[in-house]
Amino acid sequence: MGSTYSERMWWPRENTIIIPEDEPEIEEDHKDTPSDNASRDCSPAQPQPSTSAGDHRARNRTAATKCRAKAKANAAELEITEKETELQHQKLSAQVLSLQNEVLALKNEVLMHGNCDSDVIQQYLARAAKRVVGWHDLAGHWEAPPRR
């Protein structure tokens, strides 16, 4: 090869090995020999020499179709999961609202018994009133109620 390194970089031909200038130039013959065919059978990374461009496109088309089908199935599964999760969220939200209403109803029942002589009810009402109004420390200074 009489070309320079820069010419070989700009115009590499198929089956040409580019060798830097400081290394001796060695041309390799890429013709198939029986030993080359045996080594190519073991190496899946190298394409088979008998494979035509049409075969390659057909395999690529098959792989692309398979990939699209898999992506479509994953998207459908994700939509099903989304619907199930949304339904569960709605049920849980309704349950939360129901429990909040139940707590409010129970608090109202306790308030109706505010005139009773029960110490437990009176202590509960005193604590609830402090939470509503705000806490006072021992010196009489106002403190924010503790966060739940």
Q: What is the pLDDT of residue 135?
A: 63
Q: Are 104 and 98 in contact (CB under 8 A)?
A: no
Q: Mean pLDDT of all residues in the chain?
A: 76
Which residues lie across from 136 on neighbouring strands?
Answer: 142
Amino acid 114 reads: G
Give the pLDDT of residue 143. Answer: 61
Radius of gyration of the chain (CA): 40
Q: Which tens digit of pLDDT belongs to each residue from 8-23?
A: 455 555 555 655 565 4
pLDDT in tens, 101-137: 999 999 898 888 888 888 988 888 888 888 877 766 5
User: What percent of the chain shows pLDDT beyond 90?
Assistant: 35
123 touches 114 (CB < 8 A): no
11 against 72, higher pLDDT: 72
117 vs 35 pLDDT, higher one = 117
Higher pLDDT, 67 or 6: 67
Q: SS3 of 50, please?
A: coil
Residue environment code for 71-104, b if the CB has 16+ CB neighbours within 10 A, otherwise e: eeeeeeeeeeeeeeeeeeeeeeeeeeeeeeeeee
- Tokens representing 85? 């999760």
Residue 5 in this model has a pLDDT that exceeds 70: no
d(C-alpha 13, C-alpha 40), whole Å:
21
